[in-house]
């Protein structure tokens, strides 16, 4: 009876896991020939280079995807076949690494690295996409909805990060800088709100202008509306409320069309008043102060945080 009890205890999952802790996937011991072959493959430099080549080719085929490719064309057949080939190659690569290093347990287990988790997730998504594409051809329409996994194939180029040391360092620096960058974002938002409130106080309702053929002697909104064909309209970017002011300041910070907004502010006269060229040139200080504070100092703060984080990590 005691002997049978010992056998049952040895067959418990916990005991089984402890006895095979050094096994890869609880199947392949360290002296297994297949595992040794997989380990040899993983340690070869050309193995990663071949995988990088397939990732580059996969990026090319993803860039070739278009919605107007005929389903029965040679190009569509080529892209579908390439998807199957790349999915198979990446699955084999993942399987070889899992056999060589283990899946979850071990010092160098595959899923103990965040980068490998990303790689494994993308491979799993590719397999699910492949299965859904096969099922949806002969199944109800509901399976077609599940093919949204196909959209996630565009993330495959991210697998290059795990194999390019320089690129990995840049990404790690960016991720480790997220917390101090968050503080800078708060400072930037504070500047936006302050200048947005100031902009509302300075320019609320003053960006309107008369649009038409005969606007030479127009001085206000009433005179504009009396002339047939004229329209009293507002600028696309204005400061009538805080939301619109923040949008206008965002355009200013992006340097896209900021000159037009600045000159509109200089020409503004008042509410329901026709703009006059360079009516108040002192308002130029408002726009210059915003561009210097947000566009120059905040940008340099971002760069300084990244450089400080990189020097600290190195």
Q: Is the pLDDT of residue 1 over 50?
A: no
Residue ranges matching CATH 1.10.287.70 in the chain: 179-313
Q: Mind listing the pLDDT tens digit for each residue in 55-99?
A: 888 888 877 877 788 878 888 888 888 888 888 888 888 888 888
The single residue listed with the structure tokens 């202008």 is 209
Q: What is the rounded distance in angstroms from the CA atom of residue 29 to the CA atom of residue 308?
A: 45
Q: Is the pLDDT of residue 8 over 50?
A: no
Nearest to 190 by CA among 293, 58, 121: 293
Total-model pTM: 0.56
Q: What is the rounded distance in angstroms from the CA atom of residue 67 to the CA atom of residue 58?
A: 18
Q: Mind listing the pLDDT tens digit for each residue in 189-238?
A: 888 899 999 999 999 988 988 887 777 788 888 888 888 888 888 888 89
The architecture of the domain spanning 179-313 is: Orthogonal Bundle (1.10)
The CATH superfamily assigned to 20-163 is: Voltage-gated potassium channels. Chain C (1.20.120.350)
* Residue 165 burial (C-beta neighbours within 10 Å; 0-12, 13-18, 19+): exposed
Per-residue confidence (pLDDT) for residue 21, from 0 to 100: 58
Q: What is the rounded distance in angstroms from the CA atom of residue 130 to the CA atom of residue 137?
A: 11
Residue ranges matching CATH 1.20.120.350 in the chain: 20-163
């Amino acid at each position: 009876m005691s002997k049978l009890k010992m056998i049952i205890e040895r067959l418990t999952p916990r005991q089984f896991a402890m006895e095979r802790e050094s096994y890869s996937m609880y199947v392949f011991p360290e002296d297994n020939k297949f595992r040794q072959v997989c380990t040899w493959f993983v340690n070869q430099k050309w193995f990663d280079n071949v995988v990088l080549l397939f990732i580059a080719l996969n990026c090319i085929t993803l860039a070739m995807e278009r919605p107007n490719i005929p389903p029965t064309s040679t190009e569509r057949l080529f892209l579908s076949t390439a998807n199957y080939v790349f999915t198979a190659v990446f699955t084999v690569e993942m399987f070889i690494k899992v056999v060589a290093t283990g899946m979850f347990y071990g010092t160098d287990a595959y899923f103990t690295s965040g980068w490998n988790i990303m790689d494994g997730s993308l491979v799993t998504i590719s397999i699910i996409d492949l299965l859904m594409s096969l099922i949806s051809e002969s199944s109800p329409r509901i399976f077609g909805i599940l093919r949204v996994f196909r959209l996630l194939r565009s993330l495959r180029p991210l697998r290059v990060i795990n194999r390019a040391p320089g690129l990995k360092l840049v990404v790690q620096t960016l991720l480790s800088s997220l917390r101090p960058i968050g503080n800078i974002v708060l400072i930037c938002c504070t500047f936006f709100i302050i200048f947005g409130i100031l902009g509302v106080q300075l320019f609320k309702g003053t960006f309107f202008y008369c649009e038409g053929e005969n606007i030479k002697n127009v001085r206000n909104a009433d005179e504009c509306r009396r002339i047939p064909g004229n329209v009293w309209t507002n600028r696309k970017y204005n400061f009538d409320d805080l939301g619109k002011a923040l949008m206008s300041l965002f355009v200013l910070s992006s340097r896209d069309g900021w000159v037009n907004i600045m000159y509109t502010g200089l020409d503004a006269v008042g509410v329901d008043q026709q703009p006059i060229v360079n009516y108040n040139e002192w308002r130029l200080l408002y726009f210059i102060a915003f561009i210097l504070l947000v566009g120059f100092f905040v940008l340099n703060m971002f760069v300084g945080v990244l450089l400080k984080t990189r020097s600290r990590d190195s």
